[in-house]
Amino acid sequence: MECTKVITKYVHPENPCIVLWDIPGGGTTTHTAATYFMDKKLYAFDMIIIIGAAGFKELDIAIAKGAKEFNVSPF
């Protein structure tokens, strides 16, 4: 199920150097796991936080591999 439709930027209220981005989830027909990392330009981020409720899925592994390839810190 897709919840986030539009990429949204959240700037920390006390530290504008901290910015969180809410991006559409992947592993769906709209955002496939195979191309998600590049499609969403995740290589441009300093750190990626993967949040999941049911363990690691194909998408999570693809993101972690992409992060490693582009030296993005996975958390």
- Predicted confidence (pLDDT) per residue in 44-75, tens digit: 999 998 877 777 888 888 999 999 999 998 65
Give the Cα separation of 6 and 69 in Å (integer). Answer: 26
Give the Cα separation of 54 and 19 in Å (integer). Answer: 26
Contact in structure between 67 and 48 (CB atoms under 8 Å): yes
Cβ-based neighbour number of residue 42 at 10 Å: 19
Report residue 43's pLDDT band, with 50, 70 and 90 as the boundaries. Answer: very high
Domain annotation covers residue 61: yes
In sign, the C-alpha dihedral spanning 40, 41, 46, 47 is positive
The per-residue pLDDT for 29 is: 78
Domain annotation covers residue 70: yes
The per-residue pLDDT for 37 is: 92
- pTM for the model stands at 0.76
Domain annotation covers residue 3: no
Domain annotation covers residue 54: yes
Q: How many domains does the chain have?
A: 1
